[in-house]
A and B are shown apart, each in its own frame.
Chain A
Amino acid sequence: MTDRLTTLRKTIENVLPNVEGVLALRIGPGGITAPHLFSKEHSEELDKLALWPKEPVPDTLKIILRAHPDAKLAIVCRGCEERGIVEMFKHSQLNLDNLTLIGLQCEQDEAEFCRCAKPFTVHSKLTVGEPIEGVPDPLTAKIEAMSQPEKQAFWKQEFEHCIKCYGCRNICPQCFCNICALEDETWVETGRLPMPNPSMYHMVRAMHMTAKCVACRECEETCPADIPMAVHFRLIARDVREMFNYEPGASMDQKPPQLLVLEEGEYERSGLPH
């Protein structure tokens, strides 16, 4: 069996002649990886193709497509990234017409690192690697098993460590509002750390991730305070599944609960991105 990197490279080489670029990961200076737009003009760069650590590639795709809305691109995406792309499409953040998805299936150690229930893609026509089953999320289980006072003490302490870098919001592929409630002084006071009311920032973000979070854990990974915030989003996702039978990224055409209240028609992105 050929390894995923070799197969991925072959798949990208096959796709490259038909697109303007393929978004994937590349090893850069000092062995540091980052998203990169591979092109047919520089296919030798594929020598530096990388698989891991994963990166918030849907967000990079959004940045490129905002400047080049009609570009014909391909993207290498893992399960969570594919879900992110689907949700961004449903919220009018990007157009799927000219996009080729190359689904990269995660391996056991990666799924365990992510505590991931769905380490596989479901929409991509081109796929690399063999899909595996989801793994349990021991951290969420552990926190859920705490008593109410223990939970409160746990989260209070976690939130007090927050340095309000806004990294969790910046890196999240599902945080794309033009006007962000977290920058509104009514909710989040500026100029003081720890925040006078630290749970406000986190609860506002948790509410705003309802029926949107695709469980990529980019927020947790970038958090300098190691706050396990995706635990909230997962518990909320479980409720959303029960109440609305909705799972972000699972289906292309099921409307997210936020959009059900809208009158006939679609909503469109307006104004400038933040």
Chain B
Amino acid sequence: MIDYKNVLTTCPYCGTGCALHLQVLDEKLVGVLPAKNHVVSEGGLCIKGWNVHAFVNHPDRLTTPLIRKNGKLEEATWDEALTLIADKFGEVKTASGPDSVAILTSAKCTNEENYLLQKFARAVIGTNNVDHCARL
């Protein structure tokens, strides 16, 4: 049986919120189609939105954290990576104060994730240094 679907989603690239359809053929992502009657993007997309399907299964996409050991990036577990980050943040904060840390969030995250990151910056680290990639 041929299985062709259009899955409606929001473009992850910036904060505008354009809608797009991911074209899925036999469980594989094959393309992008704009959403004509969507109130934000009205059937248009920018070049990034048109190519959203390309990064999802790209071989270069990172699927585990990497830790640099002896100058070389090595795959690590999330527990190892988070422990290392917590230790380093602690060291920097103790040595140079909380404003020596900045948190850069991303338009590719959800609202809730961005909320958590600013909360983390302000309440855990103690800095207002929060910014994001969508400040184009």
Contact = CB atoms under 8 A, between A and B. Distances in A.
- Is the A/B pair a real complex? yes
Interface of A: 20-21, 23, 28-37, 39, 41, 53, 55-56, 60, 63-64, 67-68, 71, 73, 163-167, 170-171, 221-224
Nearest to A170: B50
Given A41-B1, A222-B43, 18 more contacts: A21-B2, A30-B38, A31-B37, A32-B8, A32-B38, A36-B6, A37-B3, A37-B5, A39-B1, A53-B43, A60-B4, A60-B33, A63-B23, A68-B2, A165-B45, A167-B50, A222-B45, A224-B46
Interface of B: 1-6, 8, 19, 21, 23, 25-26, 30-38, 43-47, 49-50
A37 B4 contact: yes
A32 B43 contact: no
A171 B36 contact: no
Contacts of B19: 32
A134 B31 CA distance: 33
For the complex, would chain A's binding face be called helix, strand, loop or mixed by DSSP majority? mixed
Contacts of B8: 28-30, 32, 34
17 contacts: A23-B4, A28-B6, A32-B19, A32-B35, A33-B36, A34-B6, A37-B5, A64-B4, A67-B25, A68-B2, A163-B47, A165-B50, A166-B50, A167-B34, A167-B50, A221-B43, A222-B44
A164 B46 CA distance: 8
Contacts of B33: 34-35, 55-56, 60, 171
A78 to B, nearest CB: 14
A68 B25 CA distance: 10
A21 B3 CA distance: 9
Contacts of A29: 8
Contacts of A34: 6, 8, 21, 33, 35
A64 B50 contact: no
B37 A64 contact: no
Residue with the greatest number of chain A CB neighbours at <10 A, chosen from B35, B36, B50 = B36
Nearest to B41: A224
Contact of A53 (B23, B37, B47): B37
A35 B6 contact: yes
A64 B47 CA distance: 24
Given A163-B46, A164-B47, A32 B37 contact: yes
B32 to A, nearest CB: 8
Contacts of A20: 1-2
Contacts of A36: 4-6
A71 B43 contact: no
Contacts of A68: 2
A37 B2 contact: yes
Nearest to A54: B36
A58 to B, nearest CB: 13
